[in-house]
Structure 1
């Protein structure tokens, strides 16, 4: 009888786990359009080239003065400071680790002109955790991006 109750409780507990939490990813789940949080949010299109993943800005909520296109004025490379931010590749070189993490990539922040090491993981199919850091991942910042449907 105790074994039957234990089996029932185990089966009941499994029903509380979503299929997303139990899913094994193939890597391409991050491909698509994602929206960043905050008042100055942007939309990022993530795509694959070869076996690596990249992302570029395709839309910005914020506009420049008099509706002008915002430029990458804080880029440390002076030759890139006049390029439009829309179209700028901000995620570069991510490799899927065959489990649940896209790593070894970089994220560029046009607001500061800085580039950081970065890791990406999915919280569920519509929520992506993006962690930018310097050195090692304990010192950094995390954002949660939402998939645009």
Structure 2
């Protein structure tokens, strides 16, 4: 009789355990506010910012090409190119992320800092060496659609 009661107890315990979400024992990390799709200040590109292991990355997923760019096909090779790499929270500014941005036009990689402004826009400050000598762009959340060949459909 004791064997049956113990067996029933184990079965109930295993069933209860199997219904617990697998991440219930791990400390959950909130998704950073910088994740998602963002359209660049000039409206020519849409980036998808996402996690890459313990860092953040960003791929160019949408392009708004001029007729000349469309005809040449040159910029289409940038579609899905990872241009934002290695972004990690800054020690002195926890709501800011520091990493690198690649410019496929110049083939240069720059230091960059990204953060969410009070109005919900994403700010990207690219610089070489010192933050003082850089430029800040403002990206807005993108709610449109990306069509064939990375074409932006607002």
Equivalent position of 1:4 in the other structure: none
Q: CA deviation at 1:114?
A: 1.2
1:112, distance to aligned residue in structure 2 (A): 1.8
Matched, 1:52 2:46: no
| Distance of 1:33 and 1:67 partners within structure 2 | 26
| 5+ long unaligned stretches in structure 1 | 1-25, 72-83
Q: Deviations over 1:14-46 (max 9, x none)?
A: xxxxxxxxxxxx56111100000116x100000
Match of 1:127 among 109, 121, 126: 121
Q: Describe the superposition over 1:98-128 as per-residue Cα deviations: whole angstroms up to 9, x where unpaired.
A: 721101x100112222110011111036301
Query: Whole-Å Cα distance in 1 between the matches of residues 35 and 70 of structure 2?
Result: 32
Measured in 1, the distance between the counterparts of 2:97 and 2:129 equals 17
Which residue number in structure 2 is paired with residue 96 of structure 1?
A: 89
Q: Following the alignment from structure 1 to structure 2, what is the Cα–Cα distance between the partners of residues 137 and 97? A: 14
C-alpha change, 1:27 and 1:118, in structure 2 (3 Å) is farther
**Structure 1 Cα separation of the partners of residues 46 and 61 of structure 2:** 6
1:62 maps to what in 2? 65
How far apart are 1:69 and its partner, in Å? Answer: 5.2
Distance in 1 (CA, whole Å) between partners of 2:61 and 2:103 is: 15
The residue that corresponds to 1:76 in the other structure is none
Q: Is 1:29 the counterpart of 2:24 in the alignment? A: no
Contact 1:34 1:146 in 2 (8 A): yes
Corresponding residue for residue 146 of structure 1: 140
Q: 1:107 aligns with which of 96, 101, 113?
A: 101
